[in-house]
Amino acid sequence: MKLLRILFPRRHPVQGGHATGGIAPALLVALLLAAGFSPASAQTAPDIAAPQAILLDYDSGSVLFERAADTSSAPASITKLMTMAVVFGEITSGRLSPDQEFKVSEYAWRRGGAPSGGSTMFAAVNSMIKVSDLLRGAIIPSGNDGAIVLAEGISGNELAFTVKMNQEAKRLGLTGSLFVNASGLADPDQKTTPRDMAKVAVHIIRDYPDLYKIYSEPDFLWNKIRQNNRNPLLGMSLGADGFMTGYQKDAGFNLVGSAIQNGQRLVVVIMGAKSEKERAEDARKLLEWGFRSFESRTLFEAGQIVGEATLYGGERNGAPLTSDTPIRVLIPRNGDEKLVARIRFEGPIPAPVEKGEVLARLMVYRGEQLSLEVPLVAAETVPAGPLWRRAMDGAYELMVSLLRQGYAKITG
């Protein structure tokens, strides 16, 4: 793993770092932003009770707060975010129509419907229900029966549908999640993390904005029964417009929410709270603190050169790195905060490389906390070099490899 100097814009004062670790070069760059840091007003996070939580900025991906955000726990009904991510994908691709009807099986009715005693949309057994109504039934009152019927209708049975859920989880980069049902009903193998749920939430908002609007609908009427939206954030004047809650006896009370104020959107996840009141209050505290305490700063504009990745056997020794979108990070308002940034890549990278090819990742840390991680791409195509250059690079890499092995033996 290589870590290289980052070429910050001139408007940001930069402090140089020192090489760290073994033979591979590693140069850390500290970025000092703003002035007049006030810990009490800008950086001190609110006191929350939940054992697990994360708060992140939707636009930049900056993590503003985290607590045990990578610890896997039972998701309960927030599992339905992944269920809906799969269903929304089916609709958007044209493989599924909102007007299509699915039959309510006896399994879906008994396991997730009125007889189950859990959250339900009260779908009648053997009835035919449109996908658009099943979506609202699974989202607004968090109906387990609605989620199961959708899973069965798309994949034939719920277990087959979870294959799609786990494939989508892998595609989205979820690292601590496993899904074994579509509803979130208790199962010892089903697990997720606050960070993973935040990733799914961002994906839904960004890729399915029209379908995301269902999450803000205040109530749902089905089978002559009107049920209110279970998301407590919607009534708190926070600008909240989506996502849902979950509860499991052994895991506690969970919540995923999103709110937008003055064009800034935040995503919050609470897991393991002791009560409905606690999870709602913790989420409210984090959102209010995030909107009040942070502001967005642009580190690099879209297309601006961020740094360079070392190449092997190329026409030249390096490939300039950039991002297709602006790279922004949230920092405390009226504050002075040091951020440490690193470019990470597995290298040297063999040539040729194509313009737009993902070569590295930019990692920005606030203290020990990873605040921002974004992919970096080649700013231009670099073809393979002549035979003599490839031979020289090969000899150099062989020598470095042998030196590393010797160093490991001596220090081991």
Domain limit, last residue, from 247, 276, 294: 294
Mean pLDDT over 318-342 rounds to 82
Residue 4 has pLDDT above 50, yes or no: no
Q: pLDDT by residue (tens digit) across 62-87?
A: 899 999 999 999 999 999 999 999 99
Residue 270 has pLDDT above 80, yes or no: yes
330, 48, 70, 374: which is closest to 195 by C-alpha?
Answer: 70
Q: pLDDT by residue (tens digit) across 202-237?
A: 999 999 999 999 999 999 999 999 999 999 999 999
Q: Can you say whether residue 271 is alpha, beta or left, with left for phi > 0 and alpha for psi between -120 and 50 degrees?
A: beta
Tell me whether residue 44 is in a domain: no
Residue 378 has pLDDT above 50, yes or no: yes
Could you give the percent of the chain with pLDDT greater than 90?
A: 66
User: Domain limits at 102?
Assistant: 52-294
pTM above 0.85, yes or no: no
User: Cα–Cα distance between 406 and 253 in angstroms, integer?
Assistant: 53
Residues 285 and 346 both lie in one domain: no
Residues 249 and 279 both lie in one domain: yes
Tell me whether residue 361 is in a domain: yes
Neighbours of 259 (CB within 10 A): 26
Tell me whether residue 345 is in a domain: yes
Domain limit, last residue, from 294, 322, 355: 294
Tell me whether residue 412 is in a domain: no
Residues 98 and 217 both lie in one domain: yes
Residues 337 and 251 both lie in one domain: no
Q: Which of 14-23, 347-356, 364-373 is the most confident on average?
A: 347-356
Residues 189 and 278 both lie in one domain: yes
Q: Are 233 and 284 in contact (CB under 8 A)?
A: yes
Token code pair at residue 222: 């089905």
pLDDT computed for residue 384 by the predictor: 83
What is the domain-level CATH number for residue 72?
3.40.710.10
Residues 306 and 335 both lie in one domain: yes
pLDDT computed for residue 336 by the predictor: 60
Q: At what angle do helices 194-207 and 80-93 cross, to 10 degrees?
A: 30
List residues with catalytic annotation: 77, 80, 142
Residues 78 and 99 both lie in one domain: yes
pLDDT computed for residue 28 by the predictor: 33
Residue 349 confidence class, pLDDT cut points 50, 70, 90: confident
Domain limit, last residue, from 294, 317, 335: 294
Residues 275 and 312 both lie in one domain: no
Q: Are 59 and 36 in contact (CB under 8 A)?
A: no
Residues 313 and 270 both lie in one domain: no
**The total number of structural domains that make up the chain:** 2
